[in-house]
Structure 1
């Protein structure tokens, strides 16, 4: 049997290889799709059109402002629901099951002249050490928490505050996900469990309840609130 130390080094090496490959794939993906004008690579829901129409009415003269590109970094422990959040941001199509991200997941969204590149890095233990490598290019950090996973909230808090220590000014949106579950903690309880009261005043941060499931209306409303908030934050950058 191989020594535990050797297994750990092998795991880290594999994680590094996955991270490097994921970065190359993401860069290639961006180059290939940089001229795509359809929101979220062709997916366009009814509420997406309504939101863009409303924001377009507020633009001076009703003209489309110049396109600006921003990166949204989506992180959180494995199983928190990051992939589901990204899916429902990009599509109103319900899915009974969305497979967990093993490495990287990415999507592109355009609204009100803003192009948002959403990059998710997997939340397994061997990938978390690479999270901070992606902070420097991010304009907003979205951290997804499973509100019903009480046993790992301490780990989620540690990982979140480790990221925040790396960049004390990056805007933060914490998603209290899976609010549809009966044992989910409330937003107020998660605010305390994640020690969000300790954040410095110079950081702009928000805590939103979300429920990214195939249920329909609840998912649509919570994701729409998230998208609206992202647009407002990026408009201030």
Structure 2
């Protein structure tokens, strides 16, 4: 199925779980390299469904941490969620991306940390201030699935209640593993009783924005999760 599968706290399909905000203040985080890629302050102007709030109206701030191995498609996911504009090529992130979306009274800060081996050491420092973790997996890259699983489970052991959205990305490729296969490969069944957990097949390409694997479904799910009190 191409619909988001809810795996945590009861089996079934759906995108409207009751989620308590679990983010905590981060006392100190490391000084990151300069932001690259989309950069600070991208607000998705002109994107359907994005609200431009009265500057005097307080916004409910939430942070979404976007992680995954290098090459998984994190930057492409952010680009098409936020701008919905065609790009022939999206450069990989070698440092950090911070992108802001204003949707339905929420200010969502989507923080992407690069997935190369040296940058993965930074990942745990950003967990404690996150309200949701989005973990992007390359559905074609079978050779590194074990590494992806190990990195993901190491993160989740540190934050056992942090809501998780796993994106089975690059579903447009003919040799992509299905979401069900990735659920097994990533051992997500071992987490189902610990947290709110969703698995979505996605394709972060311009051609796929109107398809069942559109990354816009990720934005809708995030709004649903983060709008809970």
- Which of 221, 225, 229 is matched with 2:221 structurally? 229
Q: TM-score, normalised by structure 2?
A: 0.78
Give unpaired runs (5+ residues) of structure 1.
1-18, 34-39, 53-64
Structure having greater relative contact order (Cα 8 Å, sep ≥ 6): 2
**What is the deviation of 1:122?**
0.3
**C-alpha separation in 2, matches of 1:190 and 1:213:** 20
Give unpaired runs (5+ residues) of structure 2.
1-29, 52-56
**C-alpha separation in 1, matches of 2:146 and 2:115:** 15
**C-alpha separation in 1, matches of 2:133 and 2:172:** 23
**C-alpha separation in 1, matches of 2:119 and 2:211:** 28
Q: Which runs of 4+ in 1 moved over 4 A?
A: 218-221
Residue matched to 1:20: 31
- Which of 177, 181, 184 is matched with 1:192 structurally? 184
Residue matched to 1:36: none
**What is the deviation of 1:200?**
4.7
**What is the deviation of 1:174?**
0.2
**C-alpha separation in 2, matches of 1:74 and 1:151:** 22
**C-alpha separation in 2, matches of 1:67 and 1:220:** 30
User: Deviation digits for residues 65-96 of structure 1, max 9, x if unmatched?
Assistant: 85200110000000000000000111111111
1:101 aligns with 2:93: yes
Residue matched to 2:79: 87
Contact 1:94 1:216 in 2 (8 A): no
Q: TM-score, normalised by structure 1?
A: 0.76
Residue 232 and residue 212 in structure 1: after superposition, are their counterparts in 2 closer, same or farther (change >3 A)?
same
User: Deviation digits for residues 139-195 of structure 1, max 9, x if unmatched?
Assistant: 000000000000000000000000000000000000000000011000100000000
**What is the deviation of 1:130?**
1.4
1:141 aligns with 2:140: no
**C-alpha separation in 2, matches of 1:221 and 1:66:** 33
Report the aligned-residue RMSD: 2.4
User: Deviation digits for residues 179-231 of structure 1, max 9, x if unmatched?
Assistant: 00011000100000000000052300100011001314346962221111101
Matches within 5 A, 1:57-206: 66-206=58-198
